[in-house]
Amino acid sequence: MSEAPRDARTDEPFCSHCGYVLTGLTESSKCPECGRPLVEVLVRPSLAARGGKRWTSTARIFGTPLIQVALGPHGRERMGRARAVIAVGDIAVGCFAVGSVVSVGVVALGGTLAVGVVSLSALAVGLIAFGGLALGGIACAGLAAGVVAIGGLACGVYAMGGMAIGVHAAGGAAYGAHLITGVRRDPAAVAAFRSLEPFLGSLWPPGQILLIYLRVLAYGAVVAAITAVGVALAYLASSSRTAR
């Protein structure tokens, strides 16, 4: 699967399998040289040379690469898919996943979509989720939905925000069973939010929202630290096994 060296000034499409120049092939669906389907092998130098990165660490944990980086188009791939304990890619899957488009991991950071125990991205899904739009156990976002939802628009069992919708809802505008608003303090809602105070700090008044976010971020950091310790232990166990 060698990528044939091409004159960088030209942008002639070529076969990524055998290097045959495919310019002018309008009637064929296959490379005339090696017979591979054009949809699989056609490459333009300008795309192939667009500087994607691919790197995999030699260190492994029970067969899985410790670190893999896959960013940008590279060869036949339009996107980099990284799958490793620590994965950095356009699409990243790992214990720690950093994705420019999608990240899935225990700790998932970045991209359009992040899914993880702790997730942070434009669209975040997780036990602890931060983002423009967040869905999760504890969701902090412009638009947040979760068991505990804190955001501009919050929907949840415990919802706090500019507009809050929930069983217990506190906000400028609040809708639900038990409400706290500027003009109303339902004792059941006050008690419910008070029960969360040991974990999240005061959920009311709303001026404290930044402090709550910082606390939730700190919980995320704790999860990340525990995961890092787990990875380190697994690495030691793995390397001691291979050393024997």
Which spans of this chain sit near Zn ion (rule: CB under 5 A)?
15, 17-18, 20, 31, 33-34
Q: What distance in Å separates the CA atoms of residue 36 and residue 39, rounded to the nearest whole number?
A: 9
Q: DSSP letters of 130-143?
A: EEEEEEEEEEEEEE
Q: Based on the number of CB atoms within 10 Å of its own CB, is 9 exposed (0-12), middle (13-18) or buried (19 or more)?
A: exposed
Smaller CB separation from Zn ion, 6 or 17: 17
To Zn ion, the closest distance from the beta carbon of 38 in angstroms equals 9
Q: How far is the CB of 33 from Zn ion (least distance, A)?
A: 4
Please say which residue, 15 or 82, places its beta carbon nearer to Zn ion. Answer: 15
18 vs 228, which CB is nearer to Zn ion? 18
203 touches 197 (CB < 8 A): yes
**Rounded alpha-carbon distances, angstroms, from residue 26 to 6, 23, 32, 230:** 21, 8, 12, 55
Query: Cα–Cα distance between 19 and 87 in angstroms, integer?
Result: 31
Q: How far is the CB of 76 from Zn ion (least distance, A)?
A: 12
Would you say 13 or 146 has its CB closer to Zn ion? 13
Measured from the CB of residue 102, what is the shortest distance to Zn ion in angstroms?
32
In the bound complex, what is the minimum distance in angstroms from residue 32's beta carbon to Zn ion?
8
The CA-atom distances, in angstroms, between 149 and each of 11, 126, 155, 244 are 51, 12, 6, 50
19 vs 162, which CB is nearer to Zn ion?
Answer: 19
Shortest Cβ distance from residue 154 to Zn ion (Å)? 56
Using the minimum distance from each CB to Zn ion, give the nearer residue, 35 or 230.
35
Which one, of 146, 154, 128, lies nearest residue 209 by Cα?
154
Could you tell me whether strands 81-83 and 86-109 are parallel, antiparallel, or unpaired per DSSP bridges? parallel
What sign has the CA pseudo-torsion 211, 216, 220, 223?
Answer: positive
For residue 86, give the 3-state DSSP assignment. Answer: strand
- Closer to Zn ion at the Cβ: 36 or 60? 36
User: Minimum CB separation from Zn ion for residue 45, in Å?
Assistant: 15
Neighbouring-strand partners of residue 102: 91, 113
